[in-house]
Structure formats: structure tokens, C-alpha cells
Amino acid sequence: MSVFTRTCQCILLVCIKWRLYYKSFLYYKWHSLCALISISYLEIMKPLLSLLIFFVHFSSFAAKQGDIIDGLSAHFKAGNSKEIAANFSPSVDLIIIDDEDVYSKAQAEQILRSFFTKYIPLKSAVIHRLNTNPNYRYGALSLVTKNGTFRVSITMKKAGNAFFITELRIETEK
């Protein structure tokens, strides 16, 4: 066996022993630290995983609730009274131009449908939104139709874990 081969074998052997020593040293230190404070790896990771799930869940919930005004704006642009009425509370305070009354969900949908047949929507944009209160939402839209421009005010209150429209006001833009 040549000197070169013997030297390579020795270096390889030293590297393997160092690697095994290094791994066992870290393993030993980790487990001795956990044993010292009498806690396991799983006991450390469970709260961290729970915290991660908590933040992911509530960040997506907030994002969904923030889009409700944008969704209603899209339904107004499409003139989709059925989808708008899906967000109505059982009784709705409906103010359209000069007519004001409290209607049931079904009646309010019919009145809104007749408004969309008379005033065909072309464009809708969110002017203002208020979502700082966890139990209340407000949105103001600009609705452009073939016959004029209207300001739509939407007041929503939370019931259970969803928001429902309690007041819908459609007024001519001044």
C-alpha cells in the first residue's frame, strides 16, 4: 500500500469520526437541554404549530370579510339583485330615490330587480368603506347607469359570524 493511499484512508477515517462525534455532540446537547428543563421536542413544537394555525386562520377570515363590499360592488355592476338579496337581513330598510320603507328580504329583492330593469347598470366603484367595528360594516358605492349616476349606501350588521344588509340606500348623485 502506498503512502498516499494510507494518508487518504487516515484522513477519511478522521472525517468520519469527527462527523459522528459532531452529530452525537449536538444530539446529546439537545436532549440534555430538554431533559434539564424536562420538556420534549413535541412539547416545544405543539404550541408553535397551534400559534401558526391560529394566525393563518384569522388572517384569511379577515381577508374574506374585507371583500364583502367589493363583492357587493361587483353584483351592483352586474345588476344581480338575487346575489345582493342573499346578503339581506330578514327585514331591510330600503330607500330607493324617494321611496322609503322596511321590506322583507323577498320584497326588497323584487324592488331592487325593478330598479335594475329601469336603470341598467354600467359601472360600479367603491367610494368609501368602514370596517373598523367588528360588528358593523358600511360601504358607499358610485353606481353609473344608462339613465344617471347614483350613490349607493350599504349598512351591514353582524349576525352570527356573517354580515347582513340592514339598510340599502340608493340616491341620485348630486
* All structural domains of the chain with their residue ranges: 3-63, 67-172
Output the pTM of the full model: 0.62
Res. 158: pLDDT tops 80: yes
On average, the pLDDT of the chain sits at 79
Which CATH number is correct for 67-172, 3.40.50.300, 3.40.50.10170, 3.40.50.2300, 3.10.450.50?
Answer: 3.10.450.50
Percentages helix, strand, coil for the chain (3-state, rounded to 5) are 50, 35, 15
* pLDDT single digits (tens) 4-58: 566 656 565 555 555 544 455 544 554 554 554 555 555 555 565 565 566 665 5
Res. 166: pLDDT tops 80: yes
Res. 62: pLDDT tops 80: no
* pLDDT single digits (tens) 90-115: 999 999 998 999 999 999 999 999 99
pLDDT of residue 108: 95
**How far, CA to CA in Å, does 84 sit from each of 46, 59, 66, 88?**
43, 25, 16, 7
Nearest-5° angle of CA 155, CA 161, CA 167? 15
Q: How far is Cα 26 from Cα 19, in angstroms, rounded to an integer?
A: 11
Q: What percent of the chain has pLDDT over 90?
A: 55
Map residue 17 onto helix, strand or coil: helix
Q: Which residue has the higher pLDDT, 60 or 96?
A: 96
pLDDT of residue 98: 86
The contacts of residue 16 (CB under 8 Å, 6+ apart) are none
pLDDT of residue 9: 63
